[in-house]
Amino acid sequence: MLEPDIKVSPGGDILIGSIGVHAYDINGNELWKVDIEGRVTCVPIIGPDSSIIVGSRDHDLYCFDMGGGIRWRSYCNNSIIPTPVYDERRGAIYALGVLGNLNRFDESGGLVWRMVLDEFLYQDMRLGPDGSILARSYSGSIFKVSPEGELIWKIEDNRITEVDNELAVTDDGTVAWITDDTLISSDGNGENLWDFRPDRGRVTFGPLMIDGKIIAGGRAENSLLWVFDTSGNLLDEFDWGDLCIYSMVMDNSGSVIIQT
């Protein structure tokens, strides 16, 4: 995502990346801030032992403790724009450089492997249920990489969407994304399952995976939200009237927060 975003720690502190990293308590009081050399344009994540992991445009991945002290700093060879991913089960931390360098680090910041994907990457990266990494390129292609750093498959999709959209992955490995105003879904092997293009309007934001359901939004004469099961069956549609919806996220309780 191009704009700074937020993360809430297990203790309720709010973490924001912008020019450095800032932490606030639930009442909005600043707890600490750390200035770093490059702009932070990804969401801070919670890493091992409640640490804070964040990437920067200075080509480095940073790990801070909850007091803002730096634990380690590791070089990634490119600006880091997609949000890093932490695989707690395998003790793996992944960072994706804007030019396609995918890095796996251990929990101490040691480089395990680095591979180069063959497209300009910047939109999103997700952890699959099998420990694989799924990444979306700027051109719209989807990559799936094994925990050992091997390319499993690539879906080439040159229909560039007008806005930044996320990947969504279910517990069974189903993947969903938006391109060319269409919601698309594939299985864990990269085979197309279904597409959804509304009769009216466009699919423009999301998708999110919640309780095995896929939620996406768009706009016709009004703002709309659609809810699907993983087979592509439309379960519900919500009309939000003339509100202009820009994005939606899911909080720690599973509730959907919509930005208008």
For 240-249, the CB contacts below 8 A with 24+ separation are 244/219, 245/205, 245/217, 245/219, 246/205, 247/205, 248/205, 248/206, 248/208, 248/215, 248/217, 249/208
8 A C-beta contact, residue 96 and residue 80: yes
pLDDT at 15: 46
pTM of the model: 0.82
pLDDT for the residue 189:
94
What are φ and ψ of residue 202, in 5° steps? -140, 145
Q: What is the 3-state secondary structure (H, E, C) of 219-240?
A: ECCCEEEEEEECCCCEEEEEEC
pLDDT at 100: 85
What pLDDT sits at residue 86? 96
Q: Determine the residue type at 142.
A: I
User: Which one, of 214, 224, 222, 220, lies nearest residue 194 by Cα?
Assistant: 214
In angstroms, the CA 128 to CA 113 distance is: 18
Task: Please choose, from the candidates 260, 232, 247, 128, the residue with its C-alpha nearest in 3D space to the C-alpha of residue 189.
Answer: 128
Rounded distance between C-alpha atoms, residue 213 and residue 1, angstroms? 23
- DSSP-based three-state secondary structure for 189: coil
Q: State residue 2's pLDDT score.
A: 35
Which positions ≥6 away from 40 have C-beta within 8 Å? 4, 17, 18, 19, 20, 21, 54, 55, 56, 57
Q: From the first residue on, what is the mean pLDDT of each consecutive set of 10 residues in the chain (260 residues)?
A: 43 50 78 79 86 88 90 89 92 91 96 89 85 88 94 81 70 87 91 90 82 83 84 89 60 58
Q: Distance (Å, rounded) from C-alpha 46 to C-alpha 247?
A: 22
Judge contact between 62 and 47, C-beta under 8 A: no
- DSSP 8-state class, residue 37: S
> Structural domains in the chain?
165-260 (2.120.10.30)
